[in-house]
Amino acid sequence: MLNNYLIFYIVFVGFFGLLIVLWLRKNINRTEYRRKKRITKLKNSESAKTETPFDKPILEAKETAVESIEHRFSIIRKVTLFLIVTVWFIAIIFPFLNNIPATFVSILVASSGIILGIASRPIIENMISGIVISFSHPVRIGDTVIIDDNYGNIEDITITHTIVKIWNWRRYIIPNSRMLSKEIINCTINDSYQWTHVEFYVSYDSDVKKVKAISIQTASKSKYFANYEEPRFWVMGMEEKGYRCWIAAWADSPVDAWELGNEIRTELIQRFNSNGIKTHKIETHVDIAQGKPPLNTISKGLS
């Protein structure tokens, strides 16, 4: 009777393990297909417009991204298969553990755990995190993001780390274990539309209605303005030396939002000067060298 029980147990575990392998393989292949399909449909994978030193940079970026996805999911398949086979093997030999001396099993498990824990902890931690990122949706290759005040695109997600190509083409490399715990602003997770706003100050002796009219007209005439609705103007505060104002308008993508903000700031400087509208200067520090660009909210002082 014991032999029949063991045979039934081994057959059941073997069949159940095979089903799990097939199910995981199907889901891994489906996730890989979706990732590659999304990459091929991306219209742009840059965070700011630039003339690159490469020919056909978007096409090359897409091809590199697809190759990276294939490589990453190839590793995921191997790692997943190894883990399943290991658990599968342990489950099959579990009934026979009584025939092995308990002391030997304890020493083997303890020594293996210590060796793996000391030597492989960072690698295993990052690999598991990479698998989680690959199957979840916090970030994907091609997404425009802001991470640790760095604005750029997710260029690659490897099995151990994530590469962010910052707007100035520097690479910000983050271990996947840390990536999971970071707070990320993802500008394109659901769509690419951006409600862009520029902040500026004008003195109290300025005509607010005139400032509003100039601001709305400036945003409306930009070629990067997406005309879903008229630009909006707000007085956001009455500060010690003047009004704090916002002008906001739609853009179709983060790239267009970057350029829209730049055009609005540039044009406002010129039009305020020509119309005698006084502004006041607020001291700010923008660390371009560290990859922290003047995003569309930074415009505190047009004079």
Give per-residue pLDDT as tens, 18-37.
788 788 888 878 877 777 77
Domain boundary, last residue among 135, 156, 180: 135
Q: Is residue 165 part of a domain?
A: no
Share of the chain above pLDDT 90, in %: 29
pLDDT score, position 173: 92
Provide the 10 A C-beta neighbour count for residue 178.
Answer: 13
Which of the pair, 204 or 90, is modelled with greater confidence? 204
pLDDT > 60? residue 248: yes
Q: How much is the mean pLDDT over the chain?
A: 78
Given a cut of 50, whether residue 58 has pLDDT beyond it is yes
Domain membership of residue 171 (yes or no) is: no
pLDDT for position 56: 62
Most confident stretch, 69-78, 100-109, 110-119, 253-262:
253-262
Q: Which residue is listed with tokens 């073997």?
A: 14
Q: Are residues 51 and 128 in the same domain?
A: yes
pLDDT at 280: 67
**Cα–Cα distance between 119 and 112 in angstroms, integer?**
11
Domain check: are 232 and 128 in the same one? no
Residue 260: which CATH number?
3.30.70.100
pLDDT surpassing 90 at residue 138? no
Within-domain flag for 150: no
Q: Which of 99, 116, 135 is the last residue of a domain?
A: 135
> How confident is the model over 69-74, as a mean pLDDT?
74
Average pLDDT over residues 102-108: 67
Residue 104 lies in a domain: yes
So what's the pLDDT on residue 265? 94
In this prediction, residues 211-216 reach a mean pLDDT of: 95
Question: What pTM does this model have?
Answer: 0.62
Question: Is residue 37 domain-shared with residue 107, that is, in the same domain?
Answer: yes
The reply to whether 125 and 18 lie within a common domain is: yes
How many domains are contained in the chain? 2
Which of the two residues, 250 and 286, has the higher pLDDT score? 250
Decide which of 105, 135, 165 is a domain's last residue: 135
Strand spans (E) along the chain: 144-147, 150-157, 161-166, 171-175, 184-186, 194-202, 232-238, 243-251
- The token pair at 17 is 């393990």
Give me the domain span that covers residue 96. Answer: 2-135
Residues 201 and 130 in one domain: no
Cα 128 to Cα 133: distance, rounded to the nearest angstrom: 9
Q: Is residue 106 part of a domain?
A: yes
Judge if 22 and 116 occupy the same domain: yes
Mark whether 130 and 204 lie in a shared domain.
no
Q: What is the rounded average pLDDT of the residues 274-285?
A: 70
- Rounded to 10°, the helix 208-220/254-274 angle is 140
Residue 249: the pLDDT is: 96
32 and 119 both lie in a single domain: yes
Whether 299 is covered by a domain: the verdict is: no
Range 123-135 average pLDDT:
77
> 219 is written with which tokens?
């945003």
Residue 114 lies in a domain: yes
Q: Please tell me whether residue 232 adopts helix, strand or coil conformation.
A: strand
Same domain? 33 vs 102: yes
Place 190 in a pLDDT band, splitting at 50, 70 and 90: confident
Using CB atoms within 10 Å of the CB of residue 256, give its burial: 0 to 12 exposed, 13 to 18 middle, 19+ buried.
Answer: buried
Rounded mean pLDDT of 147-154?
A: 91
- Residue 157 is assigned to a structural domain of this protein: no
Q: How many CA atoms lie within 13 A of 111 on its CB side?
A: 6
